[in-house]
Structure 1
Amino acid sequence: MDWLQVAVLAIVQGLTEFLPVSSSAHLILLPVLSDAQDQGLAFDVALHVGSLAAVVIYFRQELWRMTRSFSASLAGGGVDQDARLAWWVILATIPVCVVGLAFKDFIEAGMRSPLIIAFGLIVFGVLLGYADWKHRGTRSEYQLSLRDVLVIGAAQALALIPGTSRSGITITAALMLGMNREAAARFSFLLSIPVIVLAGGLESVGLVREAREVDWLALLVGTALSGVSAYLCIHYFLAFIRRIGMQPFVVYRLLLGAWLLWLYW
Protein backbone atom coordinates (compact mmCIF):
# COMPACT_ATOMS: atom_id res chain seq x y z
CA MET A 1 0.00 0.00 0.00
CA ASP A 2 1.07 3.58 -0.55
CA TRP A 3 0.84 6.09 2.29
CA LEU A 4 -2.35 7.70 0.98
CA GLN A 5 -4.13 4.34 1.13
CA VAL A 6 -2.76 3.72 4.63
CA ALA A 7 -4.08 7.08 5.82
CA VAL A 8 -7.48 6.78 4.14
CA LEU A 9 -8.14 3.26 5.39
CA ALA A 10 -7.03 4.08 8.93
CA ILE A 11 -9.13 7.24 9.20
CA VAL A 12 -12.16 5.59 7.60
CA GLN A 13 -11.89 2.66 10.04
CA GLY A 14 -11.47 4.98 13.02
CA LEU A 15 -14.49 7.10 12.10
CA THR A 16 -16.89 4.45 10.86
CA GLU A 17 -16.21 1.90 13.63
CA PHE A 18 -18.32 4.02 15.97
CA LEU A 19 -20.54 6.03 13.63
CA PRO A 20 -23.79 4.22 12.69
CA VAL A 21 -22.80 3.96 9.01
CA SER A 22 -21.06 0.54 8.84
CA SER A 23 -17.27 0.36 8.95
CA SER A 24 -17.22 -3.03 7.19
CA ALA A 25 -19.21 -1.58 4.28
CA HIS A 26 -16.75 1.27 3.82
CA LEU A 27 -13.66 -0.93 4.09
CA ILE A 28 -15.13 -3.41 1.60
CA LEU A 29 -16.18 -0.67 -0.81
CA LEU A 30 -12.92 1.27 -0.86
CA PRO A 31 -10.98 -1.37 -2.84
CA VAL A 32 -14.08 -2.15 -4.96
CA LEU A 33 -14.59 1.47 -5.98
CA SER A 34 -10.91 2.23 -6.55
CA ASP A 35 -7.79 0.59 -7.90
CA ALA A 36 -6.33 0.12 -4.42
CA GLN A 37 -5.05 -3.31 -3.49
CA ASP A 38 -6.53 -5.28 -0.60
CA GLN A 39 -4.96 -4.11 2.66
CA GLY A 40 -4.50 -7.62 4.09
CA LEU A 41 -5.13 -9.16 7.51
CA ALA A 42 -2.18 -7.55 9.27
CA PHE A 43 -3.42 -4.08 8.50
CA ASP A 44 -6.98 -5.00 9.52
CA VAL A 45 -5.68 -6.15 12.90
CA ALA A 46 -3.68 -2.93 13.32
CA LEU A 47 -6.75 -0.79 12.59
CA HIS A 48 -8.78 -2.74 15.14
CA VAL A 49 -6.05 -2.24 17.74
CA GLY A 50 -6.23 1.51 17.15
CA SER A 51 -10.02 1.59 17.50
CA LEU A 52 -9.85 -0.58 20.62
CA ALA A 53 -7.27 1.67 22.23
CA ALA A 54 -9.45 4.71 21.53
CA VAL A 55 -12.61 3.35 23.15
CA VAL A 56 -10.70 1.94 26.15
CA ILE A 57 -8.94 5.26 26.76
CA TYR A 58 -12.14 7.28 26.32
CA PHE A 59 -14.14 5.11 28.75
CA ARG A 60 -11.24 4.34 31.07
CA GLN A 61 -13.01 5.63 34.20
CA GLU A 62 -16.20 3.68 33.50
CA LEU A 63 -14.20 0.57 32.63
CA TRP A 64 -12.18 0.83 35.83
CA ARG A 65 -15.36 1.06 37.93
CA MET A 66 -16.93 -1.83 36.02
CA THR A 67 -13.84 -4.02 36.38
CA ARG A 68 -13.49 -3.30 40.09
CA SER A 69 -17.17 -3.93 40.82
CA PHE A 70 -17.30 -7.00 38.60
CA SER A 71 -14.31 -8.52 40.39
CA ALA A 72 -15.91 -7.75 43.75
CA SER A 73 -19.16 -9.40 42.65
CA LEU A 74 -17.28 -12.58 41.72
CA ALA A 75 -15.78 -12.58 45.21
CA GLY A 76 -19.25 -12.38 46.78
CA GLY A 77 -19.30 -8.65 47.38
CA GLY A 78 -22.71 -8.04 45.83
CA VAL A 79 -23.74 -6.64 42.47
CA ASP A 80 -23.91 -2.85 42.15
CA GLN A 81 -24.81 -0.91 39.01
CA ASP A 82 -21.27 -1.03 37.62
CA ALA A 83 -20.95 -4.78 38.13
CA ARG A 84 -24.36 -5.27 36.54
CA LEU A 85 -23.31 -3.18 33.53
CA ALA A 86 -20.20 -5.35 33.14
CA TRP A 87 -22.36 -8.47 33.19
CA TRP A 88 -24.69 -6.92 30.61
CA VAL A 89 -21.77 -6.21 28.25
CA ILE A 90 -20.63 -9.83 28.55
CA LEU A 91 -24.11 -11.29 28.00
CA ALA A 92 -24.88 -9.00 25.04
CA THR A 93 -21.68 -10.17 23.33
CA ILE A 94 -22.58 -13.88 23.33
CA PRO A 95 -25.03 -13.85 20.37
CA VAL A 96 -22.63 -12.18 17.94
CA CYS A 97 -19.87 -14.60 18.99
CA VAL A 98 -22.07 -17.65 18.38
CA VAL A 99 -23.41 -16.40 15.04
CA GLY A 100 -20.03 -15.12 13.92
CA LEU A 101 -18.26 -18.41 14.57
CA ALA A 102 -21.07 -20.44 12.99
CA PHE A 103 -21.40 -18.39 9.80
CA LYS A 104 -18.00 -16.68 9.43
CA ASP A 105 -17.03 -18.42 6.20
CA PHE A 106 -20.45 -17.91 4.61
CA ILE A 107 -20.53 -14.21 5.51
CA GLU A 108 -17.03 -13.58 4.17
CA ALA A 109 -17.62 -15.55 0.95
CA GLY A 110 -21.21 -14.72 0.09
CA MET A 111 -22.26 -11.45 1.71
CA ARG A 112 -19.66 -8.89 0.68
CA SER A 113 -21.31 -7.73 -2.54
CA PRO A 114 -22.14 -4.03 -3.08
CA LEU A 115 -25.85 -4.89 -3.48
CA ILE A 116 -26.06 -6.58 -0.07
CA ILE A 117 -24.24 -3.61 1.44
CA ALA A 118 -26.68 -1.24 -0.27
CA PHE A 119 -29.74 -3.04 1.10
CA GLY A 120 -28.15 -3.21 4.56
CA LEU A 121 -27.44 0.51 4.56
CA ILE A 122 -30.97 1.40 3.47
CA VAL A 123 -33.06 -1.06 5.50
CA PHE A 124 -31.22 -0.64 8.79
CA GLY A 125 -30.83 3.09 8.16
CA VAL A 126 -34.62 3.44 7.96
CA LEU A 127 -34.95 1.45 11.21
CA LEU A 128 -32.43 3.74 12.92
CA GLY A 129 -34.33 6.82 11.78
CA TYR A 130 -37.64 5.39 12.97
CA ALA A 131 -36.24 4.41 16.36
CA ASP A 132 -34.67 7.83 16.88
CA TRP A 133 -37.83 9.64 15.81
CA LYS A 134 -40.52 7.58 17.52
CA HIS A 135 -39.14 5.46 20.33
CA ARG A 136 -36.24 7.10 22.11
CA GLY A 137 -36.82 7.66 25.82
CA THR A 138 -34.97 8.69 28.94
CA ARG A 139 -33.51 5.43 30.27
CA SER A 140 -29.77 5.11 30.86
CA GLU A 141 -27.49 2.12 30.40
CA TYR A 142 -27.77 1.48 34.15
CA GLN A 143 -31.52 0.89 33.82
CA LEU A 144 -31.34 -2.01 31.40
CA SER A 145 -33.02 -5.30 32.26
CA LEU A 146 -31.86 -8.79 31.28
CA ARG A 147 -34.52 -8.85 28.55
CA ASP A 148 -33.24 -5.54 27.15
CA VAL A 149 -29.69 -6.83 27.06
CA LEU A 150 -30.68 -10.02 25.25
CA VAL A 151 -32.60 -7.99 22.65
CA ILE A 152 -29.63 -5.66 22.05
CA GLY A 153 -27.28 -8.65 21.93
CA ALA A 154 -29.46 -10.40 19.35
CA ALA A 155 -29.58 -7.19 17.31
CA GLN A 156 -25.79 -6.93 17.44
CA ALA A 157 -25.52 -10.31 15.72
CA LEU A 158 -27.21 -8.75 12.66
CA ALA A 159 -24.18 -6.48 12.30
CA LEU A 160 -22.34 -9.40 10.71
CA ILE A 161 -24.31 -8.53 7.56
CA PRO A 162 -22.18 -5.93 5.74
CA GLY A 163 -23.94 -2.58 5.59
CA THR A 164 -25.82 -3.06 8.85
CA SER A 165 -23.36 -1.27 11.19
CA ARG A 166 -22.68 -2.74 14.63
CA SER A 167 -23.05 0.61 16.35
CA GLY A 168 -26.08 1.46 14.22
CA ILE A 169 -28.07 -1.70 14.99
CA THR A 170 -27.24 -1.70 18.71
CA ILE A 171 -28.17 1.98 19.02
CA THR A 172 -31.38 1.27 17.10
CA ALA A 173 -32.32 -1.57 19.47
CA ALA A 174 -31.46 0.53 22.52
CA LEU A 175 -33.57 3.45 21.30
CA MET A 176 -36.47 1.10 20.57
CA LEU A 177 -36.24 -0.04 24.20
CA GLY A 178 -36.59 3.53 25.45
CA MET A 179 -33.01 4.56 26.09
CA ASN A 180 -31.87 8.11 25.44
CA ARG A 181 -29.47 8.82 22.60
CA GLU A 182 -26.31 9.24 24.63
CA ALA A 183 -26.95 6.19 26.79
CA ALA A 184 -27.68 4.08 23.71
CA ALA A 185 -24.42 5.24 22.11
CA ARG A 186 -22.38 4.73 25.30
CA PHE A 187 -23.67 1.18 25.73
CA SER A 188 -22.97 0.49 22.06
CA PHE A 189 -19.40 1.75 22.47
CA LEU A 190 -18.86 -0.43 25.55
CA LEU A 191 -20.17 -3.43 23.58
CA SER A 192 -17.58 -2.73 20.90
CA ILE A 193 -14.69 -3.60 23.25
CA PRO A 194 -15.19 -7.40 23.49
CA VAL A 195 -16.34 -7.53 19.85
CA ILE A 196 -13.19 -5.78 18.60
CA VAL A 197 -11.01 -7.99 20.83
CA LEU A 198 -12.62 -11.15 19.48
CA ALA A 199 -12.62 -10.00 15.85
CA GLY A 200 -9.00 -8.93 16.13
CA GLY A 201 -8.15 -12.29 17.72
CA LEU A 202 -9.71 -14.21 14.81
CA GLU A 203 -7.87 -12.05 12.30
CA SER A 204 -4.62 -12.57 14.21
CA VAL A 205 -5.05 -16.34 13.85
CA GLY A 206 -5.39 -15.87 10.10
CA LEU A 207 -2.37 -13.57 10.10
CA VAL A 208 -0.21 -16.18 11.83
CA ARG A 209 -1.29 -18.76 9.27
CA GLU A 210 -0.36 -16.46 6.39
CA ALA A 211 3.19 -15.99 7.70
CA ARG A 212 3.90 -13.14 5.30
CA GLU A 213 6.36 -10.28 5.60
CA VAL A 214 4.86 -7.37 7.53
CA ASP A 215 5.38 -3.64 6.90
CA TRP A 216 5.64 -2.59 10.55
CA LEU A 217 5.88 1.14 9.83
CA ALA A 218 2.62 1.08 7.88
CA LEU A 219 0.99 -0.89 10.71
CA LEU A 220 2.15 1.60 13.35
CA VAL A 221 0.99 4.60 11.34
CA GLY A 222 -2.35 2.91 10.61
CA THR A 223 -2.85 2.03 14.28
CA ALA A 224 -2.10 5.59 15.38
CA LEU A 225 -4.34 7.23 12.78
CA SER A 226 -7.17 4.79 13.48
CA GLY A 227 -6.89 5.40 17.22
CA VAL A 228 -6.82 9.20 17.00
CA SER A 229 -9.71 9.39 14.53
CA ALA A 230 -11.75 6.89 16.58
CA TYR A 231 -11.19 8.84 19.82
CA LEU A 232 -12.24 12.12 18.20
CA CYS A 233 -15.20 10.39 16.61
CA ILE A 234 -16.50 9.09 19.95
CA HIS A 235 -16.11 12.48 21.61
CA TYR A 236 -17.80 14.54 18.92
CA PHE A 237 -20.43 11.93 18.08
CA LEU A 238 -21.78 12.01 21.64
CA ALA A 239 -21.93 15.81 21.55
CA PHE A 240 -23.49 15.79 18.07
CA ILE A 241 -26.34 13.39 18.83
CA ARG A 242 -27.14 15.27 22.03
CA ARG A 243 -28.00 18.32 19.93
CA ILE A 244 -29.07 16.97 16.54
CA GLY A 245 -29.77 13.24 16.76
CA MET A 246 -29.34 10.37 14.32
CA GLN A 247 -31.14 11.70 11.26
CA PRO A 248 -28.05 13.04 9.40
CA PHE A 249 -26.51 9.56 9.56
CA VAL A 250 -29.77 8.08 8.29
CA VAL A 251 -29.71 10.43 5.30
CA TYR A 252 -26.08 9.51 4.58
CA ARG A 253 -26.89 5.80 4.69
CA LEU A 254 -29.85 6.20 2.34
CA LEU A 255 -27.84 8.25 -0.15
CA LEU A 256 -24.90 5.83 -0.11
CA GLY A 257 -27.20 2.84 -0.44
CA ALA A 258 -29.12 4.43 -3.33
CA TRP A 259 -25.85 5.28 -5.10
CA LEU A 260 -24.65 1.67 -4.79
CA LEU A 261 -27.96 0.39 -6.16
CA TRP A 262 -27.62 2.76 -9.10
CA LEU A 263 -24.06 1.54 -9.76
CA TYR A 264 -24.53 -2.21 -9.37
CA TRP A 265 -28.21 -3.07 -9.93
Structure 2
Amino acid sequence: MLLSHLITLAVLQGLTEFLPVSSSAHLILVPRLLGWPDQGLAFDVAVHLGTLTAVVLYFRTELARMSVEWLASVRGRGTGPEGRLAWYVLLGTIPVGLAGLLLKDWVETALRSPLVIAWATIGFGVLLGLADWQGRRVRSEHSLGVFGVLFIGVAQALALIPGTSRSGATMTAALALGLTREAAARFSFLLSIPVIVLAGALEIKGLIASPDPVHWPTLIGGAVVSAISAFVCIHFFLKWIARLSMWPFVIYRFALGGVLLILFGVL
Protein backbone atom coordinates (compact mmCIF):
# COMPACT_ATOMS: atom_id res chain seq x y z
CA MET A 1 0.00 0.00 0.00
CA LEU A 2 1.29 3.46 -0.90
CA LEU A 3 1.95 5.80 2.02
CA SER A 4 -0.50 8.36 0.64
CA HIS A 5 -3.24 5.70 0.48
CA LEU A 6 -2.47 4.56 4.04
CA ILE A 7 -2.65 8.07 5.49
CA THR A 8 -5.80 9.02 3.55
CA LEU A 9 -7.76 5.91 4.49
CA ALA A 10 -6.60 5.88 8.12
CA VAL A 11 -7.50 9.56 8.61
CA LEU A 12 -10.85 8.95 6.93
CA GLN A 13 -11.59 6.06 9.28
CA GLY A 14 -10.54 8.05 12.34
CA LEU A 15 -12.71 11.03 11.43
CA THR A 16 -15.79 9.35 9.98
CA GLU A 17 -16.12 6.64 12.66
CA PHE A 18 -17.38 9.32 15.04
CA LEU A 19 -18.82 11.98 12.73
CA PRO A 20 -22.39 11.32 11.52
CA VAL A 21 -21.33 10.76 7.91
CA SER A 22 -20.63 6.97 7.67
CA SER A 23 -17.10 5.57 7.83
CA SER A 24 -18.03 2.45 5.84
CA ALA A 25 -19.35 4.58 2.98
CA HIS A 26 -16.11 6.55 2.72
CA LEU A 27 -13.84 3.49 2.98
CA ILE A 28 -15.83 1.78 0.22
CA LEU A 29 -16.19 4.79 -2.05
CA VAL A 30 -12.83 6.57 -1.88
CA PRO A 31 -10.76 3.65 -3.25
CA ARG A 32 -13.41 2.95 -5.89
CA LEU A 33 -13.68 6.55 -7.06
CA LEU A 34 -9.89 7.07 -7.10
CA GLY A 35 -9.14 3.73 -8.71
CA TRP A 36 -7.11 2.48 -5.75
CA PRO A 37 -6.77 -1.24 -4.96
CA ASP A 38 -8.89 -2.56 -2.11
CA GLN A 39 -7.11 -1.96 1.19
CA GLY A 40 -7.90 -5.45 2.44
CA LEU A 41 -9.37 -6.92 5.60
CA ALA A 42 -6.17 -6.66 7.65
CA PHE A 43 -6.02 -2.88 7.15
CA ASP A 44 -9.70 -2.52 8.10
CA VAL A 45 -8.96 -4.40 11.34
CA ALA A 46 -5.99 -2.16 12.10
CA VAL A 47 -7.77 1.16 11.61
CA HIS A 48 -10.74 -0.05 13.66
CA LEU A 49 -8.37 -0.93 16.50
CA GLY A 50 -6.94 2.57 16.15
CA THR A 51 -10.35 4.22 16.59
CA LEU A 52 -11.10 1.92 19.53
CA THR A 53 -7.87 3.01 21.20
CA ALA A 54 -8.76 6.66 20.68
CA VAL A 55 -12.24 6.49 22.22
CA VAL A 56 -11.02 4.43 25.20
CA LEU A 57 -8.21 6.90 25.88
CA TYR A 58 -10.48 9.93 25.52
CA PHE A 59 -13.13 8.58 27.89
CA ARG A 60 -10.69 6.78 30.20
CA THR A 61 -11.86 8.63 33.32
CA GLU A 62 -15.54 8.02 32.63
CA LEU A 63 -14.87 4.40 31.70
CA ALA A 64 -12.96 3.84 34.95
CA ARG A 65 -15.90 5.18 36.99
CA MET A 66 -18.38 3.16 34.95
CA SER A 67 -16.34 -0.01 35.45
CA VAL A 68 -16.06 0.46 39.22
CA GLU A 69 -19.79 1.10 39.66
CA TRP A 70 -20.72 -1.69 37.25
CA LEU A 71 -18.63 -4.20 39.18
CA ALA A 72 -20.21 -2.96 42.40
CA SER A 73 -23.68 -3.55 40.94
CA VAL A 74 -22.70 -7.06 39.83
CA ARG A 75 -21.64 -7.77 43.40
CA GLY A 76 -24.99 -6.54 44.71
CA ARG A 77 -23.72 -3.30 46.23
CA GLY A 78 -26.20 -1.04 44.44
CA THR A 79 -26.09 0.69 41.08
CA GLY A 80 -24.91 4.29 40.82
CA PRO A 81 -25.46 6.53 37.78
CA GLU A 82 -22.18 5.52 36.12
CA GLY A 83 -22.86 1.84 36.74
CA ARG A 84 -26.33 2.23 35.26
CA LEU A 85 -24.79 3.93 32.22
CA ALA A 86 -22.43 0.97 31.81
CA TRP A 87 -25.40 -1.43 31.84
CA TYR A 88 -27.13 0.76 29.25
CA VAL A 89 -24.09 0.67 26.95
CA LEU A 90 -24.14 -3.13 27.13
CA LEU A 91 -27.92 -3.25 26.61
CA GLY A 92 -27.74 -0.89 23.63
CA THR A 93 -25.21 -3.18 21.97
CA ILE A 94 -27.51 -6.22 21.90
CA PRO A 95 -29.59 -5.21 18.81
CA VAL A 96 -26.56 -4.57 16.60
CA GLY A 97 -24.85 -7.72 17.87
CA LEU A 98 -27.83 -9.86 16.91
CA ALA A 99 -28.31 -8.08 13.58
CA GLY A 100 -24.63 -8.42 12.76
CA LEU A 101 -24.62 -12.16 13.40
CA LEU A 102 -27.79 -12.74 11.39
CA LEU A 103 -27.34 -10.30 8.52
CA LYS A 104 -23.59 -9.73 8.12
CA ASP A 105 -23.14 -11.82 4.96
CA TRP A 106 -26.27 -10.37 3.31
CA VAL A 107 -25.26 -6.79 4.12
CA GLU A 108 -21.74 -7.29 2.77
CA THR A 109 -22.96 -8.77 -0.53
CA ALA A 110 -26.34 -7.18 -1.30
CA LEU A 111 -25.94 -3.70 0.16
CA ARG A 112 -22.39 -2.63 -0.71
CA SER A 113 -23.43 -0.79 -3.88
CA PRO A 114 -22.86 2.94 -4.45
CA LEU A 115 -26.60 3.50 -4.99
CA VAL A 116 -27.51 1.96 -1.62
CA ILE A 117 -24.86 4.16 -0.02
CA ALA A 118 -26.20 7.23 -1.85
CA TRP A 119 -29.84 6.76 -0.82
CA ALA A 120 -28.92 5.78 2.76
CA THR A 121 -26.67 8.84 3.02
CA ILE A 122 -29.51 11.14 1.92
CA GLY A 123 -32.34 9.37 3.76
CA PHE A 124 -30.63 9.18 7.12
CA GLY A 125 -29.40 12.74 6.61
CA VAL A 126 -33.06 13.80 6.48
CA LEU A 127 -33.75 11.97 9.73
CA LEU A 128 -30.71 13.53 11.42
CA GLY A 129 -31.84 17.00 10.36
CA LEU A 130 -35.39 16.44 11.61
CA ALA A 131 -34.20 15.06 14.96
CA ASP A 132 -31.83 18.00 15.45
CA TRP A 133 -34.54 20.50 14.50
CA GLN A 134 -37.42 18.98 16.48
CA GLY A 135 -35.56 17.52 19.46
CA ARG A 136 -36.09 19.20 22.83
CA ARG A 137 -32.39 18.87 23.75
CA VAL A 138 -32.90 18.99 27.53
CA ARG A 139 -31.88 15.51 28.74
CA SER A 140 -28.54 13.94 29.63
CA GLU A 141 -27.45 10.42 28.82
CA HIS A 142 -27.99 9.51 32.49
CA SER A 143 -31.73 10.19 32.12
CA LEU A 144 -32.21 7.35 29.62
CA GLY A 145 -34.36 4.35 30.50
CA VAL A 146 -34.48 0.85 29.10
CA PHE A 147 -36.88 1.79 26.27
CA GLY A 148 -34.74 4.73 25.20
CA VAL A 149 -31.55 2.67 25.24
CA LEU A 150 -33.15 -0.08 23.15
CA PHE A 151 -34.50 2.54 20.73
CA ILE A 152 -30.98 3.88 20.24
CA GLY A 153 -29.66 0.32 20.01
CA VAL A 154 -32.09 -0.57 17.23
CA ALA A 155 -31.08 2.61 15.39
CA GLN A 156 -27.46 1.52 15.72
CA ALA A 157 -28.33 -1.83 14.15
CA LEU A 158 -29.66 0.01 11.07
CA ALA A 159 -26.14 1.36 10.58
CA LEU A 160 -25.16 -2.03 9.16
CA ILE A 161 -26.55 -0.54 5.94
CA PRO A 162 -23.56 1.20 4.28
CA GLY A 163 -24.07 4.94 4.16
CA THR A 164 -26.21 5.08 7.28
CA SER A 165 -23.45 5.93 9.79
CA ARG A 166 -23.39 4.29 13.20
CA SER A 167 -22.75 7.56 14.99
CA GLY A 168 -25.33 9.33 12.85
CA ALA A 169 -28.04 6.76 13.57
CA THR A 170 -27.41 6.71 17.32
CA MET A 171 -27.21 10.51 17.59
CA THR A 172 -30.41 10.83 15.56
CA ALA A 173 -32.26 8.46 17.90
CA ALA A 174 -30.83 10.15 21.00
CA LEU A 175 -31.81 13.62 19.76
CA ALA A 176 -35.31 12.34 18.97
CA LEU A 177 -35.55 11.22 22.61
CA GLY A 178 -34.74 14.74 23.79
CA LEU A 179 -31.06 14.42 24.65
CA THR A 180 -28.79 17.44 24.23
CA ARG A 181 -26.39 17.31 21.32
CA GLU A 182 -23.43 16.81 23.68
CA ALA A 183 -25.21 14.00 25.56
CA ALA A 184 -26.24 12.33 22.30
CA ALA A 185 -22.64 12.45 21.06
CA ARG A 186 -21.16 11.18 24.34
CA PHE A 187 -23.55 8.24 24.53
CA SER A 188 -22.92 7.46 20.86
CA PHE A 189 -19.16 7.43 21.45
CA LEU A 190 -19.45 5.20 24.53
CA LEU A 191 -21.78 2.89 22.62
CA SER A 192 -19.16 2.57 19.90
CA ILE A 193 -16.71 0.74 22.18
CA PRO A 194 -18.38 -2.68 22.40
CA VAL A 195 -19.51 -2.39 18.76
CA ILE A 196 -15.96 -1.80 17.51
CA VAL A 197 -14.76 -4.67 19.73
CA LEU A 198 -17.39 -7.01 18.24
CA ALA A 199 -16.76 -5.88 14.68
CA GLY A 200 -13.02 -6.16 15.18
CA ALA A 201 -13.38 -9.69 16.57
CA LEU A 202 -15.34 -10.75 13.47
CA GLU A 203 -12.77 -9.15 11.19
CA ILE A 204 -9.89 -10.79 13.06
CA LYS A 205 -11.63 -14.14 12.69
CA GLY A 206 -11.75 -13.58 8.94
CA LEU A 207 -8.15 -12.37 8.93
CA ILE A 208 -6.93 -15.52 10.68
CA ALA A 209 -8.66 -17.64 8.05
CA SER A 210 -7.21 -15.58 5.18
CA PRO A 211 -4.15 -16.94 3.35
CA ASP A 212 -2.93 -13.44 2.49
CA PRO A 213 0.38 -12.35 4.08
CA VAL A 214 0.31 -9.68 6.78
CA HIS A 215 2.40 -6.52 6.27
CA TRP A 216 2.86 -5.34 9.84
CA PRO A 217 4.36 -1.86 9.20
CA THR A 218 1.29 -0.95 7.12
CA LEU A 219 -1.10 -2.20 9.81
CA ILE A 220 0.72 -0.46 12.65
CA GLY A 221 0.95 2.77 10.67
CA GLY A 222 -2.76 2.65 9.83
CA ALA A 223 -3.70 2.01 13.47
CA VAL A 224 -1.57 4.89 14.75
CA VAL A 225 -2.83 7.40 12.18
CA SER A 226 -6.48 6.41 12.70
CA ALA A 227 -6.08 6.63 16.49
CA ILE A 228 -4.64 10.15 16.31
CA SER A 229 -7.26 11.42 13.86
CA ALA A 230 -10.09 9.82 15.87
CA PHE A 231 -8.87 11.35 19.16
CA VAL A 232 -8.67 14.80 17.58
CA CYS A 233 -12.11 14.31 16.02
CA ILE A 234 -13.78 13.36 19.31
CA HIS A 235 -12.17 16.28 21.15
CA PHE A 236 -13.17 18.99 18.71
CA PHE A 237 -16.55 17.52 17.81
CA LEU A 238 -17.71 17.59 21.44
CA LYS A 239 -16.56 21.21 21.80
CA TRP A 240 -18.03 22.29 18.47
CA ILE A 241 -21.39 20.55 18.68
CA ALA A 242 -22.25 22.25 21.99
CA ARG A 243 -22.33 25.61 20.22
CA LEU A 244 -23.57 24.75 16.75
CA SER A 245 -25.80 22.06 15.24
CA MET A 246 -25.88 18.88 13.16
CA TRP A 247 -26.90 20.74 10.03
CA PRO A 248 -23.42 21.00 8.44
CA PHE A 249 -23.34 17.19 8.48
CA VAL A 250 -26.87 17.02 7.08
CA ILE A 251 -25.87 19.30 4.20
CA TYR A 252 -22.70 17.26 3.61
CA ARG A 253 -24.75 14.06 3.46
CA PHE A 254 -27.15 15.59 0.93
CA ALA A 255 -24.21 16.79 -1.21
CA LEU A 256 -22.38 13.45 -1.02
CA GLY A 257 -25.52 11.48 -1.82
CA GLY A 258 -26.32 13.76 -4.76
CA VAL A 259 -22.79 13.44 -6.18
CA LEU A 260 -23.01 9.64 -5.93
CA LEU A 261 -26.36 9.57 -7.70
CA ILE A 262 -24.91 11.71 -10.51
CA LEU A 263 -21.71 9.65 -10.78
CA PHE A 264 -23.58 6.38 -10.97
CA GLY A 265 -26.16 7.50 -13.48
CA VAL A 266 -29.35 7.97 -11.48
CA LEU A 267 -29.63 11.74 -11.82
Normalising by the residue count of structure 2, what TM-score does the alignment of the two structures yield?
0.98
Q: Which residue of 1 aligns with 2:23?
A: 23
| Displacement of 1:32 | 1.3
| Displacement of 1:163 | 0.5
| Displacement of 1:211 | 3.2
Q: Which residue of 1 aligns with 2:51?
A: 51
State the alpha-carbon separation in 1 of the partners of residues 160 and 118 from structure 2: 14
1:120 maps to amino acid? A
Residue 242 of structure 2 aligns to a residue whose secondary structure is helix
Q: Which residue of 2 aligns with 1:3?
A: 3
| Displacement of 1:188 | 0.1
State the alpha-carbon separation in 2 of the partners of residues 133 and 152 from structure 1: 18
State the alpha-carbon separation in 2 of the partners of residues 199 and 130 from structure 1: 29
| Displacement of 1:138 | 1.1
Q: Which residue of 2 aligns with 1:179?
A: 179
State the alpha-carbon separation in 2 of the partners of residues 119 and 256 from structure 1: 10
Residue 243 of structure 1 aligns to a residue whose secondary structure is coil
State the alpha-carbon separation in 2 of the partners of residues 182 and 136 from structure 1: 13
Q: Which residue of 1 aligns with 2:221?
A: 221
| Displacement of 1:253 | 0.3
Moved more, 32-41 or 163-172: 32-41
Q: How many percent of aligned residue pairs carry the same amino acid?
A: 60
State the alpha-carbon separation in 2 of the partners of residues 41 and 109 from structure 1: 15
Confirm or deny that 1:134 pairs with 2:134: yes
Q: Conserved in 2, the CA contact under 8 Å of 1:135 and 1:178?
A: yes
2:156 maps to amino acid? Q
**5+ residue gaps, structure 2:** none
State the alpha-carbon separation in 1 of the partners of residues 238 and 210 from structure 2: 39
1:108 maps to amino acid? E
**5+ residue gaps, structure 1:** none
| Displacement of 1:47 | 0.2
Q: Conserved in 2, the CA contact under 8 Å of 1:11 and 1:229?
A: yes
| Displacement of 1:263 | 1.1
Confirm or deny that 1:242 pairs with 2:251: no
2:182 maps to amino acid? E
Q: Which residue of 1 aligns with 2:258?
A: 258
* CA deviation profile, 1:168-214 (whole Å, cap 9, x unmatched): 01000000000000000000000000000000000000000003211
1:229 maps to amino acid? S
| Displacement of 1:239 | 1.0
Q: Superposed, which structure 2 residues align to 1:21-170 within 5 Å?
A: 21-170=21-170
* CA deviation profile, 1:134-168 (whole Å, cap 9, x unmatched): 11421001110111001001111000000000000
2:142 maps to amino acid? Y
* CA deviation profile, 1:54-99 (whole Å, cap 9, x unmatched): 0000000000000000001000110110110000000000000101
Q: Which residue of 2 aligns with 1:198?
A: 198
Moved more, 211-220 or 173-182: 211-220
Q: Conserved in 2, the CA contact under 8 Å of 1:136 and 1:181?
A: no
State the alpha-carbon separation in 2 of the partners of residues 19 and 70 from structure 1: 28
2:119 maps to amino acid? F
Count the aligned residue pairs.
265
* CA deviation profile, 1:197-237 (whole Å, cap 9, x unmatched): 00000000000000321111111111110000000000001
Q: Conserved in 2, the CA contact under 8 Å of 1:41 and 1:207?
A: yes
* CA deviation profile, 1:20-64 (whole Å, cap 9, x unmatched): 000000001012101111111111110011000000000000000
